[in-house]
Amino acid sequence: MIKKLSLIALTLVLTTSCVSKKIYTDLEDKYATLRRENRKIIDENAELKKDLLISQNKLSQLQRDYDNSVSRLSQLQKDYEVTKTNLDNLQQSYQALEKNSSSAIAENAKKNRELLAQLEAKEQALAAENARLQKLKQDMESRSQRILELENVIASKDAAMNKLKDAISRALTNFEGKGLTVEQRDGKVYVSMENKLLFQSGSWAVGVNGKQAVKQLGSVLAENPDIAILIEGHTDNDPYNGTGQLSGNWDLSTKRATAIVQILRENPAINPENLTAAGRGEYAPIATNDTNEGKAKNRRIEVILTPKLDEISKLLND
């Protein structure tokens, strides 16, 4: 009986090892692809903020041009009125002098023609300035509308991520204070679960409480299909001393991330294309590895939730 159980156990280990290697390879390729997509999203977000700043600067410049044009228009209007008054005075003088002297008439006629030419030039300048002012106003309104649209999309994404964070916090209330934290920063939501909640030392098998926490997290993620889900495994810097399928901390962190992905995939409402598993090993600590407390914090799974920025990309490309 013991020999038969040993044979069955050996067969299961070999089978599991084979499947885990295939899953690991597939997810490693997928991680590379989604890492590039994540980099693209980060670059698009940076480009968006840059575009927003440029647009705001252009709006400020348009406002200054608009104000200057209004001032210039006012001055041209005053000049026009002064010139028209002078013309009226000269015409009156012309009519008075017409009876007295042909030479005076000729001089006044010359001045009259000059003033008429000046008046015509000022009228043309006034019309051109009015047209330029109207164009500046239209450009300023268009720029303001685009900035408003960009700000609304960003605010909508931030509100959606904040709502997602609150939903996750409510779903995982029972696990707060047990090595689980939820926070929002840089437009993303980070769910961090220390290994004491999920795994035994040196193992990638998820415990009962850990499975419950991951499944409750999955129930929230299933209701948010437009969220990219990156699962990162992390370890402390203690060398891995176990034997068997693992080659080190990096391998262990990857298998732990993959184990979380497998639990989330049990929820049919979660799109597998949104899932990525990655192992970071000991190379992304959040605390010192010089203390036991710090090492415990570094041994963790981080679930990083990123919104898709299709709407923003469309606005930037229009």
Residue 10 lies inside a defined structural domain of this protein: no
Neighbours of 218 (CB within 10 A): 20
Residue 2 lies inside a defined structural domain of this protein: no
In angstroms and rounded to an integer, the radius of gyration of the C-alpha atoms of the chain is 37
Structurally, how many domains does the chain consist of? 2
pTM of the model: 0.55
Measured CA to CA in angstroms, residue 228 lies from 221, 224, 254 at distances of: 10, 9, 18
Residue 30 lies inside a defined structural domain of this protein: yes
Of 158, 186, 205, the one marking the end of a domain is 158
Residue 15 lies inside a defined structural domain of this protein: no
Crossing angle between the packed helical segments 102-171 and 208-221, to the nearest 10 degrees: 150
Residues 286 and 239 in one domain: yes
Q: Is 184 helix (H, G, I), strand (E, B) or coil?
A: strand
Residue 86 lies inside a defined structural domain of this protein: yes
Domain housing 261: 20-50+161-317
Q: What percent of the chain has pLDDT over 70?
A: 86
Structure tokens at 211: 């499975």
Where residue 190 sits, what CATH number does that domain have? 3.30.1330.60
Residues 108 and 167 in one domain: no
Structure tokens at 274: 């949104």
Crossing angle between the packed helical segments 2-97 and 249-265, to the nearest 10 degrees: 80
pLDDT at 310: 58
Residues 181 and 113 in one domain: no
pLDDT at 222: 93
Residues 122 and 207 in one domain: no
Measured CA to CA in angstroms, residue 221 lies from 35, 44, 88, 168, 193 at distances of: 20, 24, 80, 8, 16
Where residue 89 sits, what CATH number does that domain have? 1.10.287
Residues 266 and 288 in one domain: yes
pLDDT at 249: 92
Residues 28 and 73 in one domain: no
Block residue for tokens 């005076």: 104
List, run by run, the mean pLDDT of 10-residue segments along the chain (318 residues): 51 51 79 78 76 83 87 86 85 73 74 85 85 79 72 74 85 81 90 91 90 94 92 93 80 95 96 95 94 93 86 57
- Largest Cα span, the chain: 142
**Strands 188-194, 180-185: pairing kind:** antiparallel
pLDDT at 314: 58
Residues 126 and 28 in one domain: no
256 CB-contact burial (10 Å; exposed 0-12 / middle 13-18 / buried 19+): buried
pLDDT at 283: 94
Residue 262 lies inside a defined structural domain of this protein: yes
Of 114, 130, 158, the one marking the end of a domain is 158
- Helices vs. strands in the chain: H and E counts, helices first: 7, 5
Residues 150 and 175 in one domain: no
Residues 46 and 173 in one domain: yes
Q: What is the dihedral of CA 249, 250, 251, 255, to 10 degrees?
A: 100
Residues 88 and 134 in one domain: yes
Measured CA to CA in angstroms, residue 122 lies from 41, 80, 132 at distances of: 54, 6, 15
Residues 139 and 62 in one domain: yes
